[in-house]
Structures are given as C-alpha cells and as structure tokens.
C-alpha cells in the first residue's frame, strides 16, 4: 500500500478521495529534528508552507521508500528541490490552485491602502471617529499598476485591475508569446515599470541575492507609489520599505508575506500606512479545495498511471 504523509493539513474531501483510491494517508506535523526519520516510512510527503524540507531531512530519507514530495501551493522555496531531485526524490507543486485567491487578496490590499480600511477599522474599534484623518483617500481607477512576475496570479490580478479602469504593465523574466495580445497587457522592462507605475504588485518567486524591492529600486519609483507583496517575504527589503514609508516616498504598502514568519517587525506591520495580513493569500475555502484536488491528481498520476 502506498503511504502518504500530510504534515500541514489538507482538504478533508481530498483526504477521503485518496483513501478511497487505496492510499494510506497519515496527517501529522513533525518537529524539524524528527521530520527526516519520519519521511523514511512514507512513499510521498505533502507539505504546505509550515514544513521546511531541507538537505538534512533528505539525507535522513536517502535509500528509503520516499519517492515524491508535493508542495500544496505555488512556490517550492521551503523545499531544497535540486538536492531532493539529485537524490532521486521527485518534487511537485500545485501552481493552479490558489491563483484566484492570491490575486483577490492583492487587490484587496490595494483598496485597503487607498481607503485606509485597515487603519480606520482599527481606530473605530478603539472607539475613535477619525473621519478627517482618512479624508485624503485615493481612487485606483485611472492609475497604472505594474506587476512584477506575470504568471497565473499576476495575470489574474492584471485582468481584475483592467476591469476597474487601471492601466496595467507587466514584467517577467520569461515573457509568454501571445499573452500581450490576448490580455491587452504589455510587457515592459523592469526599469520602465518602476518609473511609470502608481502601484507595484510583486508576484515573482523568491529571489536569490538582492530583493526585488530594495532602496535602489524604490528610488527609481514614482513618489507616492503603493507597493503590494503577496509573493515571498525575501522579495522585499523590509528596512528599505519602512524607510520609504516614513519618508513618504512610498505612500502605502500591502503585505501578506514577510522575511520572517511569524513576523516580529513591529515597526513595519504596525505602520499606519501598512495594510497587513498573516500570509493568508491561499486561505480560502475554494483554494483549499483546489489545492487538495490538484494534490490528488499528482499522487494518482505518479503512483497509479
């Protein structure tokens, strides 16, 4: 019997489907020092964001029955992918499942920044009626949105933004032929995007080396830009962003991901011009169902072709 270890939870319907197909499914989270030994007892490991699968865990699982690791989500930066595959362990993810939910959250942060929804709601719960403090909001219609990383999530956000009357620009290291014509959204250079955009939303994988949003790139942006990050915390230099918020160079920021999670950067997440959420981009009922369904597809295709 094929044994599956699910460490970060999964949709109940997906678990039931796997069991009906004859898979032996265990749901249990392991401490980092226990994970490697546990992996040896299973044919496949399914993780989300919480479990980190590093080289030490893969070393512990070498020569065992483990053949497949699935990340239920878009990125795989919590898994040492190259090392796993070099040791005969296949790594897969579920890139389609959370596109809509993450794009919607990015748009929600844009609106929250423009109309002070996060800050105003907080002050009202404190019994304050600070109407005048929030009288200088901003409309997104007629503004320019630059999307860095134009994959599934970026494309969804771009279409939503166009429907709301925004001009949309896209930058991606690997442009897709024909996409500009199909969506009516042009690819531009990163330099042009930084210089022209009123809003910049990051949807790129985690970057090695320097963050995408750092002091150098912020300096090239328009004064009063709004920055949104629902991708990976490493894509933004948090101190550079905080400095730019304090100086007014950046008008506001919407953040769902952070360099350290849970974040302890109180100065950033408590800033009055920051709309923040605790990495909930894919946390909708619909996305969880889609993730589960895609995981079932991957497991079935791998073990029961």
Catalytic residues: 232, 261, 279
Q: What is the largest CA-CA distance in the chain?
A: 66
Give the C-alpha separation, 175 to 181, whole Å. Answer: 12
CA distances for 131 relative to 110, 118, 162, 255, 272, angstroms: 20, 14, 30, 24, 15
The sign of the dihedral angle between the CA atoms of 266, 268, 273, 278 is negative
Query: Please, what is the Cα angle at 220 between 216 and 225, to 5 degrees?
Result: 110
User: In which region does residue 131 sit, left (phi positive, over 0), alpha (psi from -120 to 50) or beta (all else)?
Assistant: alpha
**The two structure tokens encoding residue 243:** 């400095």
Contact between 44 and 4 (Cβ < 8 Å): yes
**The two structure tokens encoding residue 10:** 């999964």
């Amino acid at each position: 019997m094929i044994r599956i270890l699910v460490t970060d939870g999964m949709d109940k319907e997906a678990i039931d489907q796997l069991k009906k197909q004859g898979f032996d499914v265990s749901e249990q989270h392991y401490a980092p020092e226990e994970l490697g030994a546990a992996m040896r007892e299973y044919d496949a490991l399914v993780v989300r964001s919480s479990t980190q699968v590093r080289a030490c865990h893969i070393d512990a699982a070498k020569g065992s029955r483990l053949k497949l690791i699935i990340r239920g989500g878009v990125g795989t930066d919590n898994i040492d992918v190259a090392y796993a595959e070099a040791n005969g362990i296949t790594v897969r993810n579920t890139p389609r499942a959370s596109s809509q939910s993450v794009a919607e959250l990015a748009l929600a942060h844009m609106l929250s920044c423009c109309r002070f929804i996060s800050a105003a709601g907080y002050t009202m719960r404190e019994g304050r009626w600070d109407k005048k403090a929030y009288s200088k909001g901003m409309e997104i219609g007629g503004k320019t949105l630059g999307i860095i990383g134009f994959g599934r999530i970026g494309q969804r956000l771009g279409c939503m933004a166009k429907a709301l009357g925004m001009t949309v620009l896209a930058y991606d290291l690997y442009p897709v032929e024909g996409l500009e014509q199909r969506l009516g959204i042009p690819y531009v250079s990163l330099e042009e995007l930084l210089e022209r955009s009123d809003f910049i939303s990051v949807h790129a994988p985690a970057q090695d080396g320097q963050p995408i949003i750092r002091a150098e790139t912020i300096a090239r942006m328009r004064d009063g830009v709004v920055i949104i990050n629902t991708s990976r915390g490493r894509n933004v230099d948090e101190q550079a962003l905080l400095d730019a918020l304090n100086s007014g160079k950046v008008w506001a920021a919407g953040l769902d991901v952070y360099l350290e999670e849970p974040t302890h950067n109180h100065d950033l997440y408590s800033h009055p011009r920051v709309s923040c959420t605790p990495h909930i981009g894919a946390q909708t009922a619909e996305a969880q169902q889609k993730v589960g369904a895609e995981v079932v597809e991957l497991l079935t295709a791998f073990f029961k072709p």
